[in-house]
Amino acid sequence: MSSFFVPRMNRGFVQILIFWFIPAVCDSAIITLETKPHVEATCGENVTLTCKASFSNQENVKIIKFQWLHAGRNMCANEDKDTDDLFRCGRTNTNSHHELTLILTKIKPIQEGQYLCKIHTSVGVENIKANVVTKDCIGNSTTSMNQTHATCSFRGNYPSGVVHWFQGDVNITDGVSTQAERDEDGFYDFQSTLDTEGRNLSQPLSCSLWMPSMGKYVVNLRSNALSSSGSIIQLQWVCVLLEIIMMSYRM
């Protein structure tokens, strides 16, 4: 039968371990980061992201780097202030905490996404995420019409949408040609053309921009530019004939 021998540790050695271990544990600092995890913004607004850092033992912490990151870009590092066409930064230090503020100026769709607040300190590294979403970006719209086609243009919209055509209350979108492009700022542009040749235009035409993400039409165009030019000409001739008849009665 085998036996195990557990040596007794020297009392002085144990005291030395306690002497070094306890201060090391007690002097360590816990890093806490706080920020708003989800932010929704309307296009053109200024959006402020604030990252607050605090420590359980402030005296033993040295901040090496404090930054906001987006799409691989270091937006705010150790500098107190930073400026850019799309953002600016600011930093506030107090006895209890440190704050790094990132202001997205006149926010555009290309600025949405995940932002990472990250801090490097002498006691470790910590990070926290904030997700920014842009919504309700409605741009400008125009209409035009000639003898054979009616065109509606919607520019500077986000999120993406779908152009619908109506004659009166009837949806006539089938067969319509629509082109969609996304510009450098992330906005969507739409140009939709309806072939009017051979179509009965006794009822007015209209076009609308439907945004599935919002579940509604955000732009409705019912312009005189979408009236039948042929009908206008006919109406003008009717007016001329009526004027001739009235003049003949007066004579």
How many helices (H) and strands (E) in the chain? 2, 18
Q: Is 8 a domain residue?
A: no
**What are the pLDDT digits (tens) for 52-104?**
999 887 777 888 999 999 998 898 854 544 556 778 899 888 777 899 999 99
Per DSSP, 158 falls in state: B
0.85 surpassed by pTM: no
Asked whether residue 250 is domain-assigned, the answer is no
Instruction: Give the tens place of pLDDT for each residue, 155-191.
Output: 999 999 999 999 989 999 998 999 999 999 999 999 9
130/184 same-domain check? no
Average confidence (pLDDT) over 120-145: 93
User: 124 with 169, same domain?
Assistant: no
Quick one: how far is CA 97 from the chain centroid?
Answer: 30
Q: Are residues 154 and 200 in the same domain?
A: yes
Q: Is residue 43 part of a domain?
A: yes
Together in a domain, 95 and 113: yes
pLDDT recorded at residue 23: 40
Do 149 and 228 reside in the same domain of the chain? yes
- Whole-number Cα distances in Å, 67 to 114, 187, 241: 14, 28, 78
Mean pLDDT of the region 236-247: 44
CATH number, domain of 77, equals 2.60.40.10
pLDDT at 10: 56
Asked if residue 6 has pLDDT above 50, the reply is no
One domain, residues 145 and 56: no
Whether residue 80 sits in one domain with residue 45: yes
**32-36, 211-215, 234-238: lowest mean pLDDT where?**
234-238
- Whether the predicted pLDDT of 235 surpasses 60: no
Q: Does residue 10 form part of some domain?
A: no
Q: Answer yes or no: do 146 and 131 share one domain.
A: no
Checking if the pLDDT of 115 tops 60, the result is yes
Please tell me whether residues 36 and 104 are part of one structural domain.
yes
Domain match, 100 and 127 both:
yes
- More confident position, 43 or 227: 43
Say whether 27 sits in a helix, a strand or coil: helix
The predicted-structure confidence for 10-52, as pLDDT tens digits, reads as follows 555 444 433 333 344 445 678 899 999 999 999 999 999 999 9
Structurally, the chain folds into a number of domains equal to 2
Range of the domain at 188: 140-234
Sign of CA dihedral 7, 11, 15, 16: negative
Task: Say yes or no: 144 and 131 in one domain.
Answer: no
